[in-house]
Copies of this chain bind each other. A is one copy, B any other.
Amino acid sequence: MDLYSFFNSSASYRVRIALALKEVPFDYIPVNIRTGVHREAQYVERINASASVPALVDGELALGQSLAIIDYLDAHYPEPRLVPVGTMQRARVLELSYLIACDIHPVNNMRILKYLDTVLHVRPDQKEAWYKHWIDEGMSAVERMLAQHRDGPWCFGDTPTLADCCLVPQMANAQRMGCEIGRYPLSLAVYRHAMAHPAFDAAQPNRQPDFVGT
């Protein structure tokens, strides 16, 4: 099984956590999204039509989109289960995961910040305000969800789920970009709990073979 990944990509980080939790062996194939490898014809036509990272290649299957990959892994390597089967817990896990994957991460990822810079020529302080605005909008919503439904050390329950696979990279990213993550105390408690777990530690950007500092 091959994982196409970039060390600093939050979406890649989600899948690395899932693979580590499930203890699935894989080969790490670095894709440097800073130099545009994810947009090269060979990659887009054969590995990942989304022209992004991550992508998983398992035999005949080449699959992009981190949450689709984790769903696939959950079917093939069900222990530990990351998307719960029970309806109510499942709904809460998916709701928080989609909040991060659809409402927070996409508006602050590399391609958007680059467009603000190189096409719209916004000032650095405007770009920083953009980033922090969407983090604050989204993380405030995460806090509301956790305040209503959290009942253990993880986002939901006594074991890590897809919600934790999404929250941890988002918190790491916010911290790296200079956001005050102490404003989100419930998320911070989950983040600290997770980072003490060996699977979450192994999936960190600075543990990856293509890590090159900032």
Contact = CB atoms under 8 A, between A and B. Distances in A.
Q: What bracket does the count of chain A residues touching chain B fall in?
A: 35 or more
Interface stretch (A25-33, A66-74, A176-184, A202-210): A66-74
Interface in A86-136: 87-88, 90-91, 94-95, 98-99, 101-103, 105-107, 112, 115, 119-120, 122, 126, 129-130, 133
Given A68-B95, A101-B98, A49 B144 contact: yes
Interface stretch (A15-23, A57-65, A167-175): A57-65
Given A61-B91, A144-B45, A145-B49, A68 B126 contact: no
B68 A98 contact: yes
A145 B64 CA distance: 10
18 contacts: A44-B144, A45-B144, A49-B145, A52-B103, A65-B94, A65-B95, A67-B94, A67-B98, A67-B102, A68-B91, A71-B90, A71-B91, A75-B87, A75-B90, A106-B106, A115-B133, A119-B130, A120-B122
